[in-house]
Chain A
Amino acid sequence: MSVNAYHGARKTSLLLSLLLAFTHLISGLLILLFASWFIAASSIAAPGFNYMLPAVTIRALALLRISSGYFSMLAGHHYLLQRLALLRLFIFNALENKVETSRENALDAMQYKTEEVASIWMAFVAQNAGLLLALTLLNISCLFLIPETATTLFAFTLVFIFIYLGLLVYMLKKSLRIAQAKRRYQYALTKHIECASLWHLQNNALFREPSLQELRQGIAHQQSLIRAASLLTFTAAMLALMYLLVVTSSISAGNALFIVVPMSLLAVNDWLTPTLATQTELIKYLDAKHTIKKSLNDTYSVRKDAIRKAGSNTQGIESITLQGFQPDKLSSLRINAFFQTKTLHLFLGSSGSGKSRCLQSIAGLLNFDGQRIFKMKGQLEAQSSSVVNPQDKSHLCSILYIEQNPIVLSDTVRENLKIANSQASDKSLFEALEQVGLSYIANLDEWLGTRGRRLSGGERKRLGLARALLSNADFILIDEPFEALDEENIQIASTLILTLSENKGVIVATHIVPENLIQARRIDLEEASHHLSKNSEQYSSK
């Protein structure tokens, strides 16, 4: 119900801001036309001319123009912010249980793409609709008040609409090219920066920097179209003005109202041509909408079936069995393994061997082939063949995956820890911080992230471990906890991980094996893949 009320409020706010924008535009034009008519009428000073009323009207129009200008900005902005918030919330909710780790740029783009979508009403619709409304009103009033100029004005209106539509069609056609050029450039630049370590080895012939030239040309072309359309509109207006002065003026001579049409033609650069440039906003909107839709569709959905809410599972996972397990896009691996609770397992392999992808797939964050079988607590050994829903991609909440560079939320320390366990008390949060050696962060309300305290790489790793300690998950998967730590911190981390494995199943992916973890069960991924590549016949890709 409240949602409906909210929507209603939003609609009223849109209507209000559109109305105010129209008032602003039309009163601006009207005050100019009315004032010039008033001067013309005063110069003739026909007997019985009531000059007080127009003088009051002009001042009233001026006040209307000023106040509607201010309030239309305010209402428009208010509506924009509301719409933006709703749109972003919608996107965030649409991405529930969808994970996209590989395309961070696309997610970055969401921030301003949503702005481009949300601003369409104020930046494009209000102005263009207002313009067409003003043109129509002008034509109608002309037809009744000064019929001798109506034909000329109508002809000009037709020419303008022709220019307007022509520009729109042409721009829509060309806009795709600009968007493509931009994407191409982004890709080329990212690749270029990635390959920086090769530049000094590369032959000059092959070394090519990505160039913005194509993109610049596209934009320049777009601008030149707008420029040409503006010039054409201006020329048409001046021709119409000349026609009126040469041909129609003799009929209207002595009529003070005659001044209205020439005035509106003279002022096209103020009220008509600027609208032509807003067509780029429409194109941005269309592209942004397309991009958002695409990124929402492109994401991988983690759980298709029933979702287990955190804390609702009374049964815990006793063990995980992998059979012919093959993470997505890793054709060189096929893993058979058994992971048990209260045990520490090590995934060994160099960076790039696919350890992270393996862990993410076990956690269900990535798609996989083969089987991942959970055995729940309390089930008898004999029943283990009737596995719990083998294709079930759920159990995320019973498995916590700690990233190689644990994500720091732009939020308080408390929120950053409670994400692992929303029921945790402040006391347990302090304890966790103490255990991982972050006790110097004493204020749970301190803000972390880009606009707050920045954590070093080592601190982030320890934040990840603190989350692992707080979590109720049955299995903890930790990605490279020792990388980039010094000996002392490796010691602390490995001791914590050992403690953790006393109660839970722990899987650690690493290329470093600290001394006190030598006893842990190991799976060597590099060997697994090497083994596979030698027997490639046997596992040829499907």
Chain B
Amino acid sequence: MSDPPAQLIVVDDDPINRRLLASYLEREGHAVATANDGRAGWELVRSRPFDVVLLDVLMPEMDGYQVLERIRGDEDLRHLPVIMISSVEDMQSVVRCIELGADDYLPKPFNPVLLRARIAAGLSRKRLHDLEREYLEQVEHVVTAASAVEAGTFAPDALDGVAGRDDALGTLARVFSHMAAEVQARERALKRQVQELRIEIDRTRADRQVEEITGTDAFRDLQRRAAELRSR
């Protein structure tokens, strides 16, 4: 099964450039959204997940620098790969974009080979980041599950999502779930035992033992002497 298409967004106020770029990327097999100025682009980026942003520098409403700044300042979006595309070729603009956190910079008109390579690099960075984030989230699940075990609130299916992994973390989650389930089962069994705790004494047998001990002359002698010693 092939991977789902990458979700790209092209933000450019020039309709010809926008269409050209979008149709090229679609032919490359990507799903492409477009926005015709910086503000619309920012709104779209915030509204749903993308894998790579292609961002023009000079635009009305909000320029590419501002959009880039907002993306880098946003907790959820700061790792999103951004490739700046502009006809502005001066070095100062390139430096500013890199300083603001752009991953790459491509001049217009775009070179298809270079663009393909840049997109591929951006996508692999994004996938790596997504994997890392997912890994950390799942590690967090395991940590939360450990606290739940301690607090006695562990749900048996709590780690199902992590246990499906085929790496070491998946093994850890499977073993952990298994052990937690065993501990819970043992505790349940013990609790049942507590409820069943009855002090059952066979009175006849106990009385017989008491009689065996106290019915002897030696015991009566001891009893008498103990009483005597106490009364002194």
Do A and B assemble together?
no
On A, residues with C-beta under 8 Å from B are: none
